Structure 1
Amino acid sequence: MADAVLIVALALAVVMATAVVLTRDPARQAIVLSAYGVTLGILFLVLQAPDVALSQIAVGTVVVPLVVILAIHAIRRQHGERR
């Protein structure tokens, strides 16, 4: 049973990683990246690493996508001011 859960978690991580790469719009990519962070957090829980899972969920799900969205917003605002 544990092997099946691990295989499903790994397959989900592969699917989400592929989705991040194939998403073209940077804003949407940040949202998919957040979902990928949750998926990795689940994978780490399955692998019995709760401390790493908590760190991944905090950083990979919240902080990194937030920084990406803020950078996109700043670039778009700056680009709009130049015109």
Structure 2
Amino acid sequence: MNGDDLLIAVCLTLVAVSATAAVAVREPARQALVLAVLGLTLAALFTVLQAPDVALSQLAVGSVLTPLLILLSVRKVRRRGRVDDKEAGR
């Protein structure tokens, strides 16, 4: 096993661990953060596999945009729930 194969194996292991963690976490806000880590590990894997264009796309969408949209959605749902609770208490 040469150095390249070892690096690919390490990246694949990190992707598997972070993907498992993303599935195991139940709270949406924390899940978004773990999803960002998963996006970073996938971007590293794509870079190692010599696909820099895919890595850049993964970095932008999978590591930044998707977790940000999830966090904003969770925030809006929680805020709307508080407003509904206040209106029901009147």
Q: Same fold (TM over 0.5)?
A: yes
**Structure 1 residue 37 and structure 2 residue 42: aligned?**
no
Runs of 4+ in 1 over 3 A off after TM superposition: none
- Give the corresponding residue for 2:74: 72
User: Which of 1 and 2 has greater Rg?
Assistant: 2
Measured on the aligned residues, the alpha-carbon RMSD in Å equals 0.5
Structure 2 regions of 5+ residues with no counterpart?
86-90
After TM superposition, the score normalised by the length of structure 2 is 0.90
Task: Figure out how many residues of one structure are paired with residues of the other and give that number.
Answer: 83
User: Following the alignment from structure 2 to structure 1, what is the Cα–Cα distance between the partners of residues 64 and 10?
Assistant: 24
Identity %: 51
Shift of 1:24: 1.1
Structure 1: runs of 5 or more not aligned: none
Q: Deviations over 1:23-77 (max 9, x none)?
A: 1111000001001100000000011000000000011111000000000001001
